[in-house]
Amino acid sequence: MQTVAHKLSPEESLRAANTNFYAAFESLDLVQMEGVWAHDDDVSCVHAGSELLLGWEEVRDRWARIFANAKKVRVALSCVWLRVEGNAGWVVCTERVTTAFTEGFDDTRVQATNIFVRTDDGWLLVARHASPLPSAARTPVQ
Amino acid sequence: MQTVAHKLSPEESLRAANTNFYAAFESLDLVQMEGVWAHDDDVSCVHAGSELLLGWEEVRDRWARIFANAKKVRVALSCVWLRVEGNAGWVVCTERVTTAFTEGFDDTRVQATNIFVRTDDGWLLVARHASPLPSAARTPVQ
Protein backbone atom coordinates (compact mmCIF):
# COMPACT_ATOMS: atom_id res chain seq x y z
CA MET A 1 0.00 0.00 0.00
CA GLN A 2 1.33 3.37 -0.95
CA THR A 3 0.72 6.57 0.93
CA VAL A 4 0.78 9.70 -1.12
CA ALA A 5 2.34 12.65 0.66
CA HIS A 6 0.40 15.85 0.28
CA LYS A 7 2.46 18.18 -1.86
CA LEU A 8 2.40 21.62 -0.35
CA SER A 9 1.47 24.54 -2.58
CA PRO A 10 4.06 27.34 -2.78
CA GLU A 11 1.87 29.39 -0.43
CA GLU A 12 1.60 26.54 2.07
CA SER A 13 5.34 25.90 2.07
CA LEU A 14 6.01 29.64 2.41
CA ARG A 15 3.68 29.79 5.40
CA ALA A 16 5.51 26.80 6.89
CA ALA A 17 8.87 28.52 6.36
CA ASN A 18 7.57 31.60 8.14
CA THR A 19 6.33 29.42 11.00
CA ASN A 20 9.78 27.81 11.17
CA PHE A 21 11.38 31.24 11.46
CA TYR A 22 9.26 32.07 14.50
CA ALA A 23 9.95 28.65 15.99
CA ALA A 24 13.67 29.41 15.62
CA PHE A 25 13.12 32.83 17.22
CA GLU A 26 11.37 31.23 20.19
CA SER A 27 13.98 28.47 20.46
CA LEU A 28 16.76 30.99 21.23
CA ASP A 29 18.94 28.42 19.43
CA LEU A 30 21.34 30.05 16.97
CA VAL A 31 21.79 26.81 15.00
CA GLN A 32 18.04 26.64 14.43
CA MET A 33 17.98 30.32 13.37
CA GLU A 34 20.89 29.68 10.99
CA GLY A 35 18.79 27.00 9.33
CA VAL A 36 16.02 29.35 8.22
CA TRP A 37 18.19 32.10 6.66
CA ALA A 38 20.14 32.26 3.42
CA HIS A 39 23.82 32.74 4.29
CA ASP A 40 25.05 35.32 1.83
CA ASP A 41 26.13 38.94 1.66
CA ASP A 42 22.73 39.99 0.34
CA VAL A 43 20.53 39.16 3.29
CA SER A 44 19.20 42.07 5.30
CA CYS A 45 17.42 42.54 8.60
CA VAL A 46 15.84 45.50 10.33
CA HIS A 47 14.90 44.60 13.89
CA ALA A 48 12.09 46.63 15.42
CA GLY A 49 13.41 50.11 16.15
CA SER A 50 16.89 49.34 14.84
CA GLU A 51 19.20 50.19 11.96
CA LEU A 52 19.62 47.99 8.90
CA LEU A 53 21.86 44.93 9.19
CA LEU A 54 23.32 43.83 5.85
CA GLY A 55 24.95 40.49 5.08
CA TRP A 56 24.64 37.19 6.89
CA GLU A 57 27.50 37.87 9.29
CA GLU A 58 25.88 41.02 10.69
CA VAL A 59 22.45 39.39 10.76
CA ARG A 60 23.75 36.29 12.53
CA ASP A 61 25.76 38.26 15.11
CA ARG A 62 22.69 40.29 16.09
CA TRP A 63 20.60 37.15 16.56
CA ALA A 64 23.38 35.77 18.76
CA ARG A 65 23.22 38.94 20.88
CA ILE A 66 19.42 38.87 21.07
CA PHE A 67 19.47 35.22 22.11
CA ALA A 68 22.18 35.85 24.71
CA ASN A 69 20.10 38.57 26.35
CA ALA A 70 16.73 36.79 26.42
CA LYS A 71 15.67 34.04 28.76
CA LYS A 72 12.48 33.18 26.92
CA VAL A 73 10.64 34.54 23.88
CA ARG A 74 7.09 33.88 22.73
CA VAL A 75 5.71 35.29 19.49
CA ALA A 76 1.99 35.27 18.73
CA LEU A 77 1.15 36.09 15.10
CA SER A 78 -1.97 37.77 13.78
CA CYS A 79 -3.05 39.22 10.43
CA VAL A 80 -0.71 36.86 8.57
CA TRP A 81 -0.77 37.66 4.87
CA LEU A 82 1.48 36.23 2.18
CA ARG A 83 2.27 36.49 -1.50
CA VAL A 84 4.32 34.29 -3.84
CA GLU A 85 5.91 35.58 -7.06
CA GLY A 86 7.88 32.77 -8.69
CA ASN A 87 10.77 31.86 -6.41
CA ALA A 88 10.28 34.88 -4.21
CA GLY A 89 7.64 35.18 -1.53
CA TRP A 90 6.94 37.43 1.41
CA VAL A 91 4.88 37.36 4.52
CA VAL A 92 3.39 40.43 6.16
CA CYS A 93 2.24 39.84 9.70
CA THR A 94 1.72 41.36 13.12
CA GLU A 95 3.75 39.92 15.97
CA ARG A 96 3.12 40.14 19.66
CA VAL A 97 6.54 39.49 21.11
CA THR A 98 6.86 38.69 24.79
CA THR A 99 10.44 38.48 25.99
CA ALA A 100 11.56 37.43 29.45
CA PHE A 101 14.93 38.67 30.64
CA THR A 102 16.78 37.84 33.83
CA GLU A 103 14.83 40.61 35.48
CA GLY A 104 11.43 41.52 34.12
CA PHE A 105 9.92 41.15 30.68
CA ASP A 106 8.95 43.11 27.61
CA ASP A 107 5.70 42.90 25.66
CA THR A 108 5.65 44.58 22.25
CA ARG A 109 3.52 44.62 19.12
CA VAL A 110 5.56 44.56 15.94
CA GLN A 111 4.68 44.82 12.26
CA ALA A 112 6.90 42.57 10.13
CA THR A 113 7.68 41.88 6.49
CA ASN A 114 9.66 38.66 5.93
CA ILE A 115 10.97 38.01 2.39
CA PHE A 116 11.95 34.47 1.39
CA VAL A 117 13.61 32.97 -1.70
CA ARG A 118 12.87 29.39 -2.77
CA THR A 119 16.02 27.30 -3.18
CA ASP A 120 16.78 23.59 -3.49
CA ASP A 121 16.69 23.60 0.32
CA GLY A 122 13.23 25.16 0.38
CA TRP A 123 12.26 28.71 1.27
CA LEU A 124 15.07 30.63 2.97
CA LEU A 125 14.67 33.98 4.68
CA VAL A 126 16.63 36.70 2.85
CA ALA A 127 15.19 39.93 4.23
CA ARG A 128 13.28 40.92 7.34
CA HIS A 129 11.90 44.32 8.22
CA ALA A 130 10.24 44.72 11.60
CA SER A 131 8.97 47.88 13.28
CA PRO A 132 7.20 48.64 16.55
CA LEU A 133 3.51 49.34 16.21
CA PRO A 134 2.40 52.73 17.55
CA SER A 135 -0.01 51.22 20.06
CA ALA A 136 2.64 48.87 21.41
CA ALA A 137 2.01 48.19 25.07
CA ARG A 138 5.66 48.37 26.05
CA THR A 139 5.60 47.43 29.68
CA PRO A 140 8.98 46.54 31.12
CA VAL A 141 8.33 45.08 34.55
CA GLN A 142 11.03 44.59 37.14
CA MET B 1 22.20 55.34 -39.06
CA GLN B 2 20.67 53.30 -36.27
CA THR B 3 20.91 54.12 -32.63
CA VAL B 4 20.74 51.19 -30.28
CA ALA B 5 18.89 51.93 -27.08
CA HIS B 6 20.65 50.64 -24.01
CA LYS B 7 18.57 47.81 -22.63
CA LEU B 8 18.38 48.15 -18.89
CA SER B 9 19.29 45.15 -16.76
CA PRO B 10 16.61 43.99 -14.29
CA GLU B 11 18.58 45.66 -11.51
CA GLU B 12 18.82 48.94 -13.41
CA SER B 13 15.12 49.00 -14.24
CA LEU B 14 14.27 48.10 -10.63
CA ARG B 15 16.42 50.99 -9.43
CA ALA B 16 14.63 53.28 -11.90
CA ALA B 17 11.24 52.09 -10.63
CA ASN B 18 12.32 52.88 -7.08
CA THR B 19 13.48 56.34 -8.18
CA ASN B 20 10.10 56.86 -9.86
CA PHE B 21 8.36 55.99 -6.61
CA TYR B 22 10.27 58.70 -4.75
CA ALA B 23 9.63 61.17 -7.59
CA ALA B 24 5.91 60.42 -7.18
CA PHE B 25 6.25 60.89 -3.40
CA GLU B 26 7.89 64.28 -3.91
CA SER B 27 5.38 65.31 -6.59
CA LEU B 28 2.45 65.12 -4.12
CA ASP B 29 0.50 64.12 -7.22
CA LEU B 30 -1.84 61.19 -6.59
CA VAL B 31 -2.04 60.31 -10.29
CA GLN B 32 1.74 59.97 -10.41
CA MET B 33 1.70 57.83 -7.26
CA GLU B 34 -1.04 55.65 -8.75
CA GLY B 35 1.25 54.99 -11.70
CA VAL B 36 3.97 53.32 -9.66
CA TRP B 37 1.79 50.89 -7.65
CA ALA B 38 0.01 47.69 -8.60
CA HIS B 39 -3.72 48.21 -8.07
CA ASP B 40 -4.91 45.02 -6.48
CA ASP B 41 -6.13 43.69 -3.16
CA ASP B 42 -2.71 42.25 -2.39
CA VAL B 43 -0.63 45.40 -2.12
CA SER B 44 0.46 46.45 1.34
CA CYS B 45 2.04 49.50 2.89
CA VAL B 46 3.41 50.29 6.33
CA HIS B 47 4.19 53.99 6.62
CA ALA B 48 6.82 54.92 9.18
CA GLY B 49 5.34 54.48 12.64
CA SER B 50 1.96 53.32 11.32
CA GLU B 51 -0.23 50.25 11.10
CA LEU B 52 -0.39 48.01 8.04
CA LEU B 53 -2.52 49.14 5.11
CA LEU B 54 -3.74 46.26 2.95
CA GLY B 55 -5.19 46.50 -0.56
CA TRP B 56 -4.85 49.26 -3.11
CA GLU B 57 -7.87 51.22 -1.87
CA GLU B 58 -6.46 51.64 1.64
CA VAL B 59 -2.98 52.35 0.31
CA ARG B 60 -4.24 54.94 -2.17
CA ASP B 61 -6.46 56.69 0.38
CA ARG B 62 -3.56 57.13 2.79
CA TRP B 63 -1.37 58.63 0.07
CA ALA B 64 -4.21 61.03 -0.72
CA ARG B 65 -4.29 62.06 2.95
CA ILE B 66 -0.51 62.42 3.16
CA PHE B 67 -0.46 64.53 0.02
CA ALA B 68 -3.34 66.70 1.26
CA ASN B 69 -1.47 67.50 4.48
CA ALA B 70 1.96 68.24 3.00
CA LYS B 71 3.00 71.38 1.17
CA LYS B 72 6.33 70.03 -0.03
CA VAL B 73 8.28 66.79 0.42
CA ARG B 74 11.89 66.05 -0.37
CA VAL B 75 13.40 62.58 0.05
CA ALA B 76 17.16 62.01 -0.02
CA LEU B 77 18.17 58.35 -0.30
CA SER B 78 21.30 56.71 1.05
CA CYS B 79 22.50 53.11 1.44
CA VAL B 80 20.36 51.97 -1.49
CA TRP B 81 20.60 48.21 -1.87
CA LEU B 82 18.55 46.01 -4.19
CA ARG B 83 17.95 42.39 -5.13
CA VAL B 84 16.12 40.78 -8.05
CA GLU B 85 14.66 37.27 -7.91
CA GLY B 86 12.90 36.54 -11.20
CA ASN B 87 9.93 38.85 -11.53
CA ALA B 88 10.16 40.03 -7.95
CA GLY B 89 12.64 42.58 -6.69
CA TRP B 90 13.10 44.69 -3.61
CA VAL B 91 14.99 47.75 -2.59
CA VAL B 92 16.26 48.40 0.92
CA CYS B 93 17.23 52.01 1.51
CA THR B 94 17.51 54.80 4.04
CA GLU B 95 15.38 57.87 3.45
CA ARG B 96 15.81 61.34 4.85
CA VAL B 97 12.33 62.78 4.47
CA THR B 98 11.83 66.51 4.83
CA THR B 99 8.19 67.58 4.81
CA ALA B 100 6.93 71.15 4.83
CA PHE B 101 3.45 71.74 6.19
CA THR B 102 1.47 74.97 6.27
CA GLU B 103 3.20 75.74 9.53
CA GLY B 104 6.63 74.31 10.18
CA PHE B 105 8.35 71.21 8.84
CA ASP B 106 9.42 67.73 9.79
CA ASP B 107 12.77 66.07 9.18
CA THR B 108 12.95 62.29 9.72
CA ARG B 109 15.25 59.41 8.90
CA VAL B 110 13.40 56.33 7.74
CA GLN B 111 14.46 52.77 6.90
CA ALA B 112 12.45 51.37 3.99
CA THR B 113 11.89 48.10 2.16
CA ASN B 114 10.07 48.48 -1.17
CA ILE B 115 9.01 45.28 -2.96
CA PHE B 116 8.21 45.39 -6.69
CA VAL B 117 6.80 42.87 -9.16
CA ARG B 118 7.72 43.00 -12.85
CA THR B 119 4.70 43.13 -15.14
CA ASP B 120 4.10 43.97 -18.80
CA ASP B 121 3.98 47.58 -17.61
CA GLY B 122 7.37 47.28 -15.92
CA TRP B 123 8.14 47.06 -12.20
CA LEU B 124 5.18 47.96 -10.01
CA LEU B 125 5.33 48.55 -6.28
CA VAL B 126 3.37 45.90 -4.37
CA ALA B 127 4.61 46.25 -0.79
CA ARG B 128 6.30 48.97 1.21
CA HIS B 129 7.50 48.81 4.79
CA ALA B 130 8.95 51.96 6.31
CA SER B 131 10.01 52.62 9.89
CA PRO B 132 11.55 55.56 11.73
CA LEU B 133 15.23 55.17 12.50
CA PRO B 134 16.11 55.42 16.19
CA SER B 135 18.47 58.35 15.70
CA ALA B 136 15.89 60.28 13.68
CA ALA B 137 16.39 63.98 14.22
CA ARG B 138 12.71 64.76 14.47
CA THR B 139 12.66 68.52 14.70
CA PRO B 140 9.26 70.05 14.10
CA VAL B 141 9.76 73.79 13.79
CA GLN B 142 6.97 76.32 13.90
- pLDDT, residue B137, reads 47
Contact assignment for A44 to B81 by CB distance below 8 Å: yes
Q: Is the per-residue pLDDT at A37 higher than 90?
A: yes
Average of per-residue pLDDT across B97-102? 94
Q: Is the per-residue pLDDT at B139 higher than 80?
A: no
Q: B22: closest CA among B105, B97, B83, B82? A: B97
Average of per-residue pLDDT across A55-72? 97
* Nearest Cβ partner for B134 among A50, A117, A130: A50
Q: How many CB pairs under 8 A join A and B?
A: 85
Tell me the ipTM for this assembly: 0.90
Q: Is the per-residue pLDDT at A7 higher than 50?
A: yes
pLDDT tens, position by position, B26-50:
999 999 999 999 999 999 999 999 9
Contact assignment for B129 to A115 by CB distance below 8 Å: no
* Nearest Cβ partner for A81 among B44, B117, B132: B44
Contact assignment for A49 to B131 by CB distance below 8 Å: yes
Q: Is the per-residue pLDDT at A137 higher than 50?
A: no
pLDDT tens, position by position, B53-93:
999 999 999 999 999 999 999 999 999 999 999 999 999 99
- pLDDT, residue B3, reads 59
Q: Is the per-residue pLDDT at A1 higher than 60?
A: no
Q: Is the per-residue pLDDT at B140 higher than 60?
A: no
